[in-house]
Structure 1
């Protein structure tokens, strides 16, 4: 059986290679490098540059063939790659076609695509926990409203994030960027992503795709390089893709930022411009510059001779028409005029002469018709040409000005531009008709796609659909720019809603259509949008402002633009500007559900819950099955303590979307608020079953475990959450509070220190550190932290009450009482503050006030043994007979604590029993519990607390001193021996 013959592409390549003339010196320099050992080759980065039509792409193809002759593996990247990730993907795809797949990179790329899709769609749930400890003593972490846009757009709409590798495809020198804005945007994006994904790695791959993908790409590239003598990467049309790739490519080639590049990797750049000096200035000595100009006369005559044109008169006409521009010399020679008579009048352009010399009218018409599409495959070809030329696609692909890549053909820009100009000039009406016909063709293909089930998140997520829509837009702009421009600008809003990269492609389409159709308003819009995307600190807002100001949008289009800009303002915490945009959007289009939702979320962010509810109600009225809006309204009800309404909404939202982890976690939080702990934990567990490493769910479950006394479980959850997101200050502080609860003060301080290091103005962590220092009798440190926390948040009741307790600890009773009064003004039912204010009143002999406070504290929390004990001391000072009853109740509660499964709570109970039994003068019991207390290994703070209580008892009951003194000595010895 005969072997399989060469492909059509291979035959075309052979034909062109055999007929290649000129540029021999440049090609020879490249071949010389291929003949050397990689470690000896000084040249590894070639830069071909020169004006359009001088043969850069042709030379690239020759170099590619030379590399493959040496058993090398090659890849070609051009302007079809919209960013660095797509460039790496193109290389990987071509390597796989040559039998050497980049498997690890491909797997990681698939993960990136999936995680990016999840981030854009919100499929993984809402954002991270807010930076609030909700009073630190009794709060539970709250998750923010899911963003009205993808997390990626939160930052992409604000800053280019130049150089961070966070949003692939942003130019290296895209204008001045405020570094503070970049940092703030990066932090916000990280916070939004940190709770969505299964691991810190998933956050990083969306946050910084280049930093994650490039090392894997280089590792796989190194494996390929071990199996082939040379790996050659070609980057064509570099004047267009250079701004997107420059920084990344430079770092890959000359630094070890992403890893090492094998020595047998060569890179060839080809473009009209010289390399960007600001990027490459320090490395130009590594670049082998290959400048190209028009053919010399000798080179031009050599090419003509190779095509069979040796007649001097014919050659002179061709050289005159072509200006010795290689693409035109080759194009004219291809027609092979056989006589001077065929040449005729040498006036006109080279392309016009080429078409005149083509004797087959079907071919001539096909060549012109196929210049109209931006690129051509066989389907597009058949749609563009007359029936007589339907079978000539193979011929078209052989033409010297046609480049065949990835199953689609493109005309050389010089030839295509001339052919388009010729057709516009000869018959404007036919020009319009042909473009309209092509637009209708792409529309038909798009509509046929729409007959099928749309993707989950709409047709804009379908790559084929987007391509059809974009090509349709291009041809309508060419056919009738005045009529089509408003619709094209309106499409830019949908494109931006899909993402910055999609909007960039639409802006490029406007630019190209305006240039090709000689429509200045269209090309002007394309350039404006591209400039905004590449040079502004806030590209999204700038683009939308341009469109709103001069974009000829109708009322609904203006409303949509305002919704998108309002979203961007809200994501950047510019809430007043967001509200202004949403208000105007709803004025223009009262039926705009997204405007109502977005304004509601903005009100939510501003704690204006009544206004938020009104907008969520309207959004749900307009779209009754909007599960997200229903869920967010439920969360708003929860924050307003309307828990029944909250649960009704959250239940409904979960019915509509049973596997939405954020909604399930939010319902769990609401269950927690109404003390339905089993239901709460069931929801947290379900959310984590759906997403095992969902940081927010882990964190809030940890908080629930903490407040229900399951400290070991709480610590396990916080440890896991911190493992997933090591720099999340709230979670670290929450773990610190758990250590605080179990009297592991050194561990607590370590966490609070770390949280404050991450966020120096973190009032809750400062207050918690102050509270810990108070319990460790470091009153100066405690007061410094608490003063700072209250300075940051003057109405922070918990911090104010703890500062009062610190003042109480150093006998500053007036300051203590002032703080307790302020804390209770802010929170009248704050039982702990009421109890300790009662103790302070007792310290200044205000027994009636003390008794009133302690009674109120016991009413609020009847199981507060400490309040019962303090009340007994007050009653003793008032010679009231109920003191024994109070002591008995205190001992009962302390005994219950001493039997608690929590070692720390049990230890505190034992210490309190020592003091209570001394107060009731049951000395043997006091001694027995003291021995148990000391043998249980109390920390220094716990020992000091019992010492302070016994000292206070001796002051209150002088007759107890004789029996208490031995106990005090034993405690002092234990304190001296404590670590």
Structure 2
């Protein structure tokens, strides 16, 4: 049966969907692009929409998204609600799932990143209770340097040269132990794009075969470009992370044009879409769509708005019928926005609700200050205003409108402004205290919910109080934010910038600008700026010093790290953090005796501190002081029964003492707490090996390999297990896989040589062992195997 043709009315209705009027050329260009196959030279893979705030970028993006879906496309929308590339990829996954296309393999990898983020950071930084052993810390740093992933270097820096890598490789190979499994966790957290992006691209490849197009939208690009632009460029223009299906189209929208230094070579494959104010015809079309057709009224709206789409739309929604309804030409933008709302309560609520940066029902109640029986209806009314949009589960004013309303309130009633800002700060502070109740202060900065409440309290304090009163408190918070990494620190500093603008405080603005500039260099430099200006109280100074020590330790600048710890001790002689961090650095330098002495002092200052006990237990285990290590680890798990890392460490210690049953029990407990703890899995595999249960040994290693499929270390350990079971052909496959991932992996070359020798392939075995010794000249095990091979080669064949 022939398909019924659509009516004129239906087609006109679709074109007017959601009240979208104008931007006909831009929409037509996008539609035409979806009509062209990717192989057509006219097809464009990237559209970049840009223009000043209020020109309708988001409205156009949403319209293009609807056009794409009408063509059967799978779409994903990402905006400034994300703070990093992994969060952007997570948003894509959620959008795909909402359209019935789950990306389960990627979601599992993403879950692993989320679960291991703090634990993996702890391996490098020692910040979390699962502080690294000195061997692990050295090994991880070497591995990261070899892969170009040193923190601060960015996600796409190329690998260092072979000479530099070889210098790191020696320490890396010497440091192989059960604890070294955390190297992959560290890579996952410090440069998650390297691990997650290939998995997402694999999923996109599968999806691309089921839909005609995949269209990815990145809105408010000026906010996400600082962390996403390089990643997007690499993903679209190189195969470093894998290949992107040809039927993927990317749409970005922001206030600025694309960075020509980076994207100039891509110009032939993208469409630049600059947006300015509406043309007169477009503005008239939007007004007519709302029933505003009287020429004097239309002319006045055009004059007052200058064609800015947001203002045209806002005024059109009021449907004025007389020029006098539009108001005095000298009236502020805010008065024009609210001119046609006669209810003074609603007008007051709309103004008051511009104060918070985002609104939910709780914030609305606090700022609106209306009786409970009115709040629900008022909140629904507010969310329906044309300048109020929805971001996730919150409402947010458009920047242009909010800025105008803030200026109006601040200038009209400075005292009323300060009073309302103080009230909001108090509310956020109260909610923050409820979130923190009964929890150690050291845990709070790792809690995203607590941080969000603290951040909003900080913003409103900056708006309510003179800069000289608020800044010292807030700059101390910037120091705390630095403990959670650059993404969190940047949000705090950006809040300083925004508060400076909104409160018209040059002192706050200047601090925000200066700290943003320092953060471009890294957290170490930002903390240095805070310390240099002498504005931090004692506790913040100590925290800044130990965080600088953390950064220097990551750079292997141990002397500088010790100096920072000692500066912290000068500021506060009773700071357990300073002794704890100096202990970590001294352990890196193999000075375990001094490290344990520092931890002894840290325990005196902070009794029953599980983090300190865990670190001391680890160092004593590294020294072979198993009895003393067990004492510390026993106390750590008693104080914090859910401390998976301490259970795993105690299991490894029990194993070293030959107590297989106890080791098995502790490692089982560690895996109950975290079923994907790779260190615990690989450690338990040794227990199975010693019990002769090779199938279970391989089962644990198989699980570890599924969790970290790109780990050369786990592939090599699995190969060793197969070799020890007499399965040398299978072992060779694992060693080869490890070497495909890391061609300079000395242990894989040596173990490969041993399996080749077992198979009687002595010439190949000698070449593999020679390569291992070329990489690590003083490698005893490889030397012994090479001697055995030479003897076999020199022995006369048996008759």
Distance 1:976-1:234 versus aligned 2 partners, 3 A rule? closer
Q: Once the 2 structures are TM-superposed, how far is the Cα of residue 370 of structure 1 from its aligned partner?
A: 1.9
Structure 2 match to 1:101: 102
Match of 1:326 among 309, 324, 347: 309
1:764 counterpart = 2:584: no
State the match for 1:949 in structure 2.
none
Specify the alignment match of 1:437 in structure 2: 423
Contact 2:134 2:584 in 1 (8 A): no
Counterpart of 2:565? 582
TM-score, structure 2 normalization: 0.78
Distance 1:653 1:747 in 2: 49
Secondary structure at 1:74's aligned position in 2?
Answer: strand
CA distance in 2, matches of 1:183, 1:93: 42
The residue that corresponds to 2:547 in the other structure is 564
Aligned residue number for residue 21 of structure 2: 21
Paired residue for 1:217? 200
Counterparts in 2 of 1:97 and 1:265: CA distance versus 1, 3 Å:
same
Of the candidates 518, 540, 547, which is equivalent to residue 523 of structure 2?
540
Secondary structure at the residue paired with 1:409? strand
- Following superposition, the deviation at residue 414 of structure 1 comes to 1.7
How far apart are 1:285 and its partner, in Å?
0.9
Structure 1: any 5+ residue segments left out of the alignment? 1-12, 131-142, 167-176, 707-712, 778-937, 942-974
RMSD: 4.7
Aligned partner (choices 462, 469, 478) of residue 447 of structure 2: 462
Specify the alignment match of 1:500 in structure 2. 486
CA-CA distance at 1:585 after TM superposition = 0.9
TM-superposed deviation, 1:75:
2.3
Other-structure match for 1:335: 318
Query: Which one is further off, 550-559 or 767-776?
Result: 767-776
CA distance in 1, matches of 2:173, 2:495: 32
Residue 499 of structure 2 is aligned to residue 513 of structure 1? yes
Cα deviation for residue 562 of structure 1 reads 0.7
Q: Are 1:304 and 2:304 matched, yes or no?
A: no
Cα distance 1:545–1:416, how it changes in 2: closer, same or farther (>3 A)? same
Which residue in the other structure is 2:233 paired with? Answer: 250
Q: Could you say if the C-alpha distance between residues 93 and 311 of structure 1 is closer, same or farther in structure 2, counting changes exceeding 3 Å?
A: same
For residue 634 of structure 1, report the CA deviation from its aligned partner: 4.5
1:32-55 CA-to-partner distances (Å, cap 9, x unmatched) read 334556666723422211222222
Summarize the Cα distance change of 1:436–1:603 in structure 2 as closer, same or farther, 3 Å threshold: same
TM-superposed deviation, 1:241: 1.5
Deviations 1:743-790 (A, max 9, x none): x99898666534444xx4x4532x77677778889xxxxxxxxxxxxx
Contact residue 126 and residue 195 of structure 1 kept, 8 A: no
Distance 1:655 1:117 in 2: 22
Matches of 2:370 and 2:542, distance apart in 1 = 46
1:500/1:681 CA distance change after superposition, 3 Å: farther
Which position in structure 1 is the counterpart of 2:436?
450
Q: Deviations over 1:879-921 (max 9, x none)?
A: xxxxxxxxxxxxxxxxxxxxxxxxxxxxxxxxxxxxxxxxxxx
Alignment of 1:370-769 (within 5 A): 370-387=353-370, 390=375, 391-451=377-437, 454=439, 458-482=443-467, 483-533=469-519, 535-536=520-521, 539-550=522-533, 552-634=535-617, 636=619, 645-646=628-629, 648-653=631-636, 655-656=638-639, 678-679=658-659, 683=663, 687=667, 690=670, 719-720=720-721, 753-757=770-774, 760=775, 762=776, 764-765=778-779
What per-residue deviation string (whole Å, max 9, x for no partner) do you get for residues 514-537 of structure 1?
A: 22222222222223333333x32x
Q: Distance in 2 between matches of 1:92 and 1:349?
A: 43
Tell me whether 1:276 sits opposite 2:272 in the alignment.
no
Counterparts of 1:408 and 1:186 in 2: how far apart (Å)? 49
Distance change (3 Å), C-alpha of 1:342 and 1:386: farther
Residues 374/184 of structure 1: CA separation in 2 closer, same or farther (3 Å cut)? farther
Shift of the 58–735 alpha-carbon distance from structure 1 to 2, 3 Å rule, reads: closer
The CA distance in 1 between the partners of 2:264 and 2:117, in whole Å, is 35
Q: Tell me how far 1:404 sits from its aligned partner.
A: 2.1
Query: 8 Å contact 2:133–2:615 — kept in the other structure?
Result: no
How many Å separate the matches in 2 of 1:717 and 1:83?
Answer: 34
SS in 1 for 2:778: helix
SS, match of residue 498 in structure 1: coil
- Contact in 2 for aligned 1:497/1:564 (Cα 8 Å): yes
On the 8 A contact 1:115/1:206 being kept in 2, the answer is yes
Which piece of structure 1 moves more, 77-86 or 454-463? 454-463
Q: In structure 2, do the counterparts of structure 1 residues 164 and 652 end up closer, same or farther at CA, with 3 Å as the change threshold? A: same
Cα distance 1:612–1:67, how it changes in 2: closer, same or farther (>3 A)?
closer
Distance 1:297 1:572 in 2: 58
Q: Does the 8 Å contact 1:440/1:472 carry over to 2?
A: yes
Provide Cα deviations, 1:189-232, integer angstroms capped at 9, x if missing partner: 99999855879976764465323322332333344444444433
Contact 2:418 2:465 survives alignment (8 Å): yes
Q: Distance in 2 between matches of 1:187 and 1:376?
A: 55
Q: CA deviation at 1:558?
A: 0.4
Deviations 1:958-978 (A, max 9, x none): xxxxxxxxxxxxxxxxx4436
Distance in 2 separating the partners of 1:383 and 1:155: 49
The equivalent of 2:62 in structure 1 is: 61
Tell me how far 1:26 sits from its aligned partner. Answer: 1.2
* Alignment partner of 1:163 is 2:118: no
Kept in 2: contact 1:443–1:472 (CA 8 A): yes
Deviations 1:798-847 (A, max 9, x none): xxxxxxxxxxxxxxxxxxxxxxxxxxxxxxxxxxxxxxxxxxxxxxxxxx
The structure with more radius of gyration: 1
Are the counterparts in 1 of residues 47 and 272 from structure 2 also a CA contact under 8 Å?
yes
What CA distance in whole angstroms lies between the structure 1 residues aligned with 2:257 and 2:340? 37
Q: Cα 1:594–1:161, aligned 2, differ >3 Å: closer, same or farther?
A: same
Matched with 1:286 is 269
Distance verdict in 2 for CA 1:308–1:589, change over 3 Å: same
Instruction: Kindly tell me the number of residue pairs found equivalent between the two proteins.
Output: 733
Correspondence for 1:977:
797
Q: Given that residues 401 and 415 in structure 1 are in contact (C-alpha distance below 8 angstroms), is that contact kept between their aligned partners in structure 2?
A: yes
Q: Does 1:43 align with 2:44?
A: yes
* Corresponding residue SS for 2:385: coil
Structure 1 segment 885-900 matched on structure 2, within 5 A: none
CA distance in 1 between counterparts of 2:487 and 2:63 reads 32
Distance 1:369 1:700, change over 3 A: closer
Mean Cα deviation higher: 42-51 or 645-654: 645-654
1:52 and 1:413 in contact (8 A); partners too: yes
Name the CA distance, whole Å, in 1 between partners of 2:755 and 2:203.
45
Secondary structure of 2:60 counterpart: helix
> Greater CA deviation, 340-349 or 410-419?
340-349
Where 2:47 maps in the other structure, the secondary structure is strand
CA distance in 2, matches of 1:261, 1:243: 22
CA contact under 8 A between 1:634 and 1:649: conserved in structure 2?
yes
Structure 1 residues 435, 749: closer, same or farther in 2, change over 3 A? farther
Mapped partners of 2:174, 2:391: distance in 1 = 42
Deviations 1:593-615 (A, max 9, x none): 11111112223333444433332
Q: Summarize deviations over 1:849-906 as a string: whole Å, max 9, x none.
A: xxxxxxxxxxxxxxxxxxxxxxxxxxxxxxxxxxxxxxxxxxxxxxxxxxxxxxxxxx
